[in-house]
Amino acid sequence: MASSSTFPDPAIGLPPRVESDSMGSLDIPADCLWGCQTQRSLMNFPIGGTESKMPLEVIYGMALVKKCCAEYHAEIGKMDAKVAGAIAQAADEVIAGHHDRQFPLVTFQTGSGTQTNMNVNEVLSNRAIQILGGEVGSKAPVHPNDHVNKGQSSNDSFPTAMHLSLTKMVVETTIPGMEALLAALNEKMEKFSDIVKIGRTHCQDATPLTLGQEFSGYAMQVEYGIQRLKNSLPSICRLALGGTAVGTGLNTSIGYDAAIAERLAKATGLPFITAPNKFEALAGHDSLVEVSGVLNTIACSLNKIANDLRMLASGPRCGLGELSLPANEPGSSIMPGKVNPTQCEAMTMVCAQVMGNHVAVTVGGAQGHFELNVFKPLMIANLLQSARLVGDSSQSFSSRCVEGLTVNKSRVDELMNASLMLVTALNPHIGYDKASEIAKKCHKEGTTLKEGAVASGYLTAEQFDEWIVPSEMIGPK
């Protein structure tokens, strides 16, 4: 599909068409709606496979920008209404996913996203020409630059599409996924509120708490993550469109930037506004680094939660075994009956990917030079992946792990009663040093805490039973 060969396209048996621009002529595959600039990008950036393709969310965002701009220009009398209508119809088709194969470019291209901007311009131009009954590739009556790109530069339209696509992803995928996980964790927190278990610090026995208290920590980590994401939304809802090449707004009219932002807000139902300073909006992407940082922090939280659950469910007979996770699929190709914590493993791999993506976004955000940041495609590709992965994995982890996990109460009681750290409750009565002496002696001799405490002579069996009550050790007196 990306070939510039003059041989007929084997898929349709038609020879390629020839298109020209300021750089010369090129052969374009007959069934493709793109033009010379897209074809040159395919030739000049043969980097990566399908994983490196420009995210379609960015394409859809750009198509919406083009639609709103065309309709605005028609409304103020600066574009023929039929041309604007054809561009809008073509954009709607793109947004609906009808022309996905017409956007073959990779992320690793010019750092402003110019090739992708022109890919969208060319496809919308040629599709609008088809709608109006013209000849594809003729650039008449719809020109990719003069009409589809009117009032825009890649430098402001591409970052606008970045913010559109990321905001939409966070609102529609990331936050709902995390809210589902929060609801599941809160439900377990309530259900497990009366189950007293042994705590662990440094991966060593510690004092008791309830399983509900333990899950309340997980729930709060997720809740904080949701709050931080919501707090970051206003910063990424500020749009660069209207800054054109360097932030000055050359080739636009006063009020254009606010009018387009208002149209985009109405079309998406999201609170987009025009960026108050277009120079910052083009040259710096601190708000995107901020969102990536929030996703990175969330990844740290989710990684901790997933690791805790897989360790608490380790076993089932030779590990901690306090929890049982849902048996979703066979765990081994050689060990019959084995069940693995696969949702926990998937979640922690997602977290590793998000953390790695944040490094790339951070480096990209630091690469603003003068009036333009030229790491835009890299930043948005990584951000969209992180936002989707966090949302999808949270939803999956919630429904396929947290909701179905159960407690092995007998194992919880066994481990709690075997712990020597219950001795901490004796501190107020016999002092730290004597309590420590008892614990160390019990561990060395393999006796129970009660046996060692009574044998020490520092307290009676009756006092032990009065002072060592795990259910009374889960909060302040």
Question: Any idea which residues carry the catalytic annotation?
Answer: 202, 332
Task: Report whether 354 contacts 386 (CB < 8 A).
Answer: yes
Element (H, E) at 199: strand 196-201
Q: Cα 424 to the chain's mean position, in Å?
A: 43
Structure tokens at 325: 């996770």
Cα of first residue to Cα of last residue in the chain, in angstroms, is: 73
Q: Where are the alpha helices (DSSP H) in 313-373?
A: 342-365
Angle formed at CA 140 by CA 136 and CA 142, multiple of 5 degrees = 95
How many other CB atoms are found less than 10 A from the CB of residue 105?
A: 24
Task: Report whether 107 contacts 377 (CB < 8 A).
Answer: yes
CA distance 332 to 350: 22
323 three-state secondary structure: strand
CA distance 280 to 29: 40
CA distance 357 to 378: 10
HSE-up (13 A, CA, CB side) for residue 184: 20
330 three-state secondary structure: coil
Question: What per-residue string of b and e applies to 285-316 under the rule 16 or more CB within 10 Å gives b?
Answer: bebbbbbbbbbbbbbebbbebbbbbbbbbeee
Which of 65, 47, 62, 156 minimizes the C-alpha distance to 102?
Answer: 62
Task: Report whether 178 contacts 298 (CB < 8 A).
Answer: yes
Which of 448, 460, 452 minimizes the C-alpha distance to 435?
Answer: 452
Angle formed at CA 411 by CA 409 and CA 412, multiple of 5 degrees = 60
Structure tokens at 35: 């033009």
